[in-house]
Amino acid sequence: MKENYLCPKCNAHLRVGENVVFYVISKKSNNKGLIMLNPNLGDYSITSHPKVTFEKGEYVEFYCPVCHANLAASKINSNLVKIIMVDDLTGQKSDVYFSKVAGEKSTFRITDNKIIEKYGDDAHLYSNLFDISE
């Protein structure tokens, strides 16, 4: 399955090649720049400029690089980011939530208000926020 990722505010495409691109700012150090995340859910590898680093536990704000909207999922939990995933083959849309706390591994794919997939050692911290039908 090949996925595209969209900004939930402006529907801009966030995937470039084999990366999902965000503009980020640290709430603690004001360190900022572009980061690229692996598009495969559950793969927590990050590519960025060597000076764009964050300490474990640091809160990082994620922004759309096109419309500059803050992607925080504040209605669910202020520690989460929300983007849209679209399956290229079926056109099915899912909401993808992941932690914006540096070092925290927690990702969810939600369709029809149900957890379809969850990843990461820290997913248990947020599982109760979604209607779980497993």
| pLDDT, tens digit (0-9, with 9 covering 90-100), for 18-54 | 999 999 999 888 889 999 999 999 999 999 999 998 9
Report yes or no on 134 lying in a domain. no
The answer to whether the CB of 21 falls within 8 A of the CB of 105 is no
Position 96 scores a pLDDT of 97
* Global pTM value: 0.92
> What integer best gives the mean pLDDT of the chain?
92
Question: Residue 131 — pLDDT band, cuts 50, 70, 90?
Answer: low
Q: Where are the beta strands (DSSP E) in 1-134?
A: 3-6, 15-16, 19-26, 32-37, 46-48, 60-63, 80-87, 93-99, 107-111, 114-119
Residue 1 has pLDDT above 60, yes or no: no
Q: Is residue 132 scored above 50 in pLDDT? A: no
Asked whether the predicted pLDDT for residue 76 surpasses 60, the reply is yes
In a domain, 61, yes or no: yes
Q: Which two tokens stand for residue 86?
A: 């679209």
Q: Which residue has the tokens 């995933």?
A: 85
Closest C-alpha to 110, from 88, 94, 122: 94
Domain count, the chain: 1
Q: Is residue 107 part of a domain?
A: yes
The answer to whether position 124 is within a domain reads yes
> Does the residue 48 lie in any domain?
yes
The predicted pLDDT at position 126 comes to: 94
Average pLDDT of the residues in 85-108: 95
Residue 114 has pLDDT above 70, yes or no: yes
User: What dihedral angle (degrees, nearest 10) is formed by the CA atoms of 90, 62, 134, 88?
Assistant: 10
- Say yes or no to pLDDT of 81 above 60: yes
Q: Which domain, by its residues, includes 35?
A: 3-129
